[in-house]
A and B are shown apart, each in its own frame.
Chain A
Amino acid sequence: MSATGIGAAVRRKEDLRFITGRGQYTDDVIRPRETRAVFVRSPHAHARIRGIETSAAKTMPGVIAVLTGAELANDKIGNLICGWMIHSKDGTPMKMAPHPALAFGKVNHQGDAVAVVIAETQVQGRDAAEKIKVDYEPLPAVTDPAKAKSGPQIHDLAPKNTIYEWSLGDAKAVDAAFASAKHVTRLDIVNNRLVPNAIEPRAALAEYDAGTDQLTLWNTTQNPHVSRLVIAAFVGMAPEHKLRVIAPDVGGGFGSKIFIYPEEVVCLWAARKVGRPVKWTADRSESFVTDAHGRDHVTHAELALDANGKILAMRVKTIANLGAYMSTFSSSVPTYLYATLLSGQYDIPQIYCEVDAVYTNTVPVDAYRGAGRPEATFVVERLVEVAARQMGIEPADLRKRNFVKSFPHQTPVIMAYDAGDYNASLKMALELADVRGFNKRKREAARHGKLRGLGYSTYIEACGIAPSQAVGSLGCGVGLWESAEVRVNPTGSVEVLTGTHAHGQGHETTFAQLVSERLGIPFENVSIVHGDTDKVQFGMGTYGSRSGAVGMSAIVKALDKIEAKAKKVAAHMLEAAEGDIVFRDGKFTVAGTDKSAAWGDVALNAYIAHKFAGQELEPGLKETSFYDPTNFTFPAGCHICEVEVDSETGKTEIVNWTAVDDFGTVVNPMIVEGQVHGGIAQGIGQALLEGAVYDNDGQLVTGSLMDYCMPHAHDLPSFKVGLTETKAPSNPLGIKGCGEAGAIAAPAAVINAITDAIGSENLIMPATAQTVWAALKNGQPRQAA
């Protein structure tokens, strides 16, 4: 391993600009004559719009335009769409309701945009927005997914607010297995609704050049090409080649910046209308009522086991809240990203899952770090833990008895696991966490009035999203391959253009490590270019822990082509047969001789083309590849959480955290560990602190950081992180992906630990101090098997 190659903890290229304040986030981009957009948003969760009075606002200082949904409709600006078709059990397609960028006639959630002010400054825009009088006729609202079907009708085309009633698996076979079971564990689970809260608020800056009829959008997006495609092809804003989308530095995404949102559509539309650049940057309070939320499932789950603790079957019924409109990938999250992972790390012969997706008068719900897989893991790992406790079997032991041990393994829910060693990660985690010493620590804690508990989560996820053919057969509207272009300059330096996008993941570093190692050139001589549709060939962006497994594989393919072409150039230079050229450590050698050419010389010769005729070999050294994976990848591991609960106040402190993950090949362990840390923090946040709460009228009670509790440094411990490794067989580098693991594993580990500590399974997330206190006070003591 070289100092900057694959496996090295190389310090990040991108850091210099961030630690010196020179990052360029969307709100930092300033265009000449730019204006500010300020949205007027519905204070009601559900209301008819009887009229909008804008004349007073139009005369306010600095106001350039006031625009409403009626004008948007007049200009034939299309609706936002959901790009993944799900069919119900009865074969009917999902009920996708119209989602205009500015509400027209009716608002369906608090924060729904009804008008926009374009003004010289943001403050002037705000002053004017207050003068807009919207005449609302409030309607009854529903926010709880469990009550959605009997709630007030939100969209005409979706009776009972039902988007689809979907299922996966063999219901009859599952029923039969349950009938023969010795033990059945049943749980009612609420997977709490979360607000992603990337610290950079969403922003959009749109500019129209009338001379070239070109629109440019700077946008906080994780996937600029997908954004351009949707805005061009579905919203109909401009032809694809007349729209450039730039994702500059983006301050965290966690899924929330995948989606195409109303605000960028409105900024583009308004920029063309007023003939000046239009910028919008969300306030945090605005983010709370407009960024797609995550999770929000209500589930009843059952696990059937035989007398030896061997799992026979699982039955799951989930109601998934998709909010007021179907966001870009919302339909896929509680279906193919959820039910397909219900087998966990276990050999479960039969699984049946039903998912009803419903509309409610809440902010749309879509993928948030983990997307479906944290929900699945929580179901599986709570069921297994509770089953073990009820049956009097050590939780780790029950898991071991049921682990998948041979590969490939076909689960009953589509996925075919191709590689893994679940015992290995469990074993390492047990040691790192000193589980053997736990009982002693528990007794010690009891002496100080603290209840100590231990919880496991042996999770699996499907990453490397995704084989296009597979996802196409499941309803996905796009292919999920990735592209790369490798440009070798005449001086030998290299630019790699990737269709993935980094918003904290450090691609500029890890991708350069791959190139540096493969071409044998200095790490400093490699630049990674991403986030601009004018520069980068098409790409699908970054989510689903796909950038390493899929994005880097595309780079590998392009590098293969570069090497092949460079060998041809070298053969001409060295006057040898192409087949005799060996490329190693940045040098081309004629096999069996001391004749060689350095990388830089070959690069130069490729461009000056003096040594070969253009007819037989094209000048230049630049290659493009599109890589489509052959399977998902299956990162898996074991997280162990140890907590102390203050029995008087109910406050939980996480005192130890151990994470052992199998991510396949690790390109940069420093960055991978950082991803694990961040994921765990978000998972702990879900389990202990975070939860979006709506009141009965549809007002978001947790609408700011004063009420919605983000994890702070003092809420978290330092993490013990270990790695095991089985290579992913489906991609050339053996990478599985690491971005979501922590968020997927953590919630179950925390809740398993607290329930262990307090001796009651009756605990909902977030397990705030009050919640734990109430569980301690009211909880039924756990019943023995």
Chain B
Amino acid sequence: MPAVSMTVNGKAVTGDVEARTLLVQFLREDLRLTGTHVGCDTSQCGACVVHIDGIAAKACTTLALQCEGAKILTIEGLAEPNGPLHPMQEAFREHHGLQCGFCTPGMIMAALDIVRRRGNDLDEHTIREQLDGNICRCTGYHNIVKAIAAGAKAMAKGGARQAAE
């Protein structure tokens, strides 16, 4: 089996994988990072969104081997263990931006990418349009939209604290 090595949440990792192994399978099954979820099989739901070299991508539509040498950030790497939460995580809690929690890791990772692309001052229309790749069945998005707007603002205040990698 081909070997693959990458940096995940700041740590170098390697593994032997079949070529057909998806990034999300590598994260969940090989690295046991189960915070990245799989909610569909057609690249629609966004529960699997992670950052590859700082850019949000669907880990269900990316091969592990495509990430050779890449820096991957998952929800588990967003805040230091026992350290303070990332402002976007904090905003989701503060604004009740989650219910069952299953879509949440992908939502938060997608939200950070919206901030990267559109800045810290986000209006409702922009957030709704930019959430096109993430589906939530619980919240009706109302509070997710509020959380992302607030999280984006908080990131600006906190000097846009960047995550580990």
Contacts and interface: CB of A to CB of B under 8 A. Distances in A.
Direct contact of A and B (CB under 8 A): yes
Interface of A: 11-12, 14-25, 27-28, 30, 123, 197-201, 249-252, 254, 281, 283-285, 503-506, 670-671, 673-674, 677-682, 704-706, 710-714, 716, 718-719, 742
A713 B141 contact: yes
Given A251-B102, A713-B145, A714-B128, A705 B42 contact: yes
Q: What DSSP secondary structure best describes chain B's contact surface? A: loop
Contacts of A673: 96
Contact of A20 (B35, B127, B139, B143): B35
29 contacts: A11-B96, A12-B96, A17-B101, A18-B105, A19-B89, A19-B101, A21-B33, A23-B35, A27-B38, A123-B20, A198-B102, A200-B100, A251-B101, A504-B99, A671-B96, A674-B96, A674-B99, A674-B143, A678-B138, A681-B141, A682-B137, A704-B42, A711-B141, A713-B129, A713-B136, A713-B145, A714-B128, A716-B141, A742-B140
Complex A-B, nearest 10 residue pairs according to Cβ-Cβ distance, in ascending order:
A21-B35, A251-B102, A18-B101, A681-B140, A504-B100, A504-B99, A21-B75, A677-B140, A284-B40, A705-B44
- The secondary structure that dominates the A interface is loop
A15 B93 contact: yes
B36 interface: yes
A659 to B, nearest CB: 11
A251 B105 CA distance: 12
Contacts of B59: none
Contacts of B76: 20-22
Contacts of A197: 137
A16 B92 CA distance: 10
B15 to A, nearest CB: 14
B5 to A, nearest CB: 21
Contacts of B40: 284, 704-705
Interface of B: 18, 20, 28, 32-42, 44-45, 47, 74-76, 78-79, 85, 89, 92-94, 96, 98-105, 108, 124, 127-129, 131-132, 134-145
A677 B143 contact: yes
B93 A718 contact: no
Given A20-B75, A21-B76, A706-B42, 12 more contacts: A11-B93, A15-B92, A20-B76, A20-B89, A21-B105, A23-B101, A28-B28, A199-B47, A678-B139, A678-B140, A718-B124, A742-B140
A709 to B, nearest CB: 10
A180 B127 CA distance: 56
A670 B142 CA distance: 12
Contacts of A123: 18, 20
B96 A250 contact: no
A252 B138 contact: yes
A520 B67 CA distance: 53
Contacts of B28: 28
Contact of B100 (A16, A24, A252, A716): A252
Nearest to A746: B140
A21 B102 contact: no
Contacts of A23: 35, 101-102
Given A21-B33, A28-B34, A680 B42 contact: no
B42 A201 contact: no
Contact of A284 (B45, B104, B128): B45
A18 B104 contact: yes
Given A15-B92, A252-B100, A504-B101, A25 B139 contact: no
Contacts of A12: 93, 96
B153 to A, nearest CB: 17
A283 B44 CA distance: 13
B108 A19 contact: yes
A742 B140 CA distance: 10
B35 A716 contact: no
Contacts of A671: 96
A292 B69 CA distance: 43
A503 B100 contact: yes
A200 B37 contact: yes
A158 B95 CA distance: 52
Contacts of A710: 44, 135, 137
A22 B32 CA distance: 11
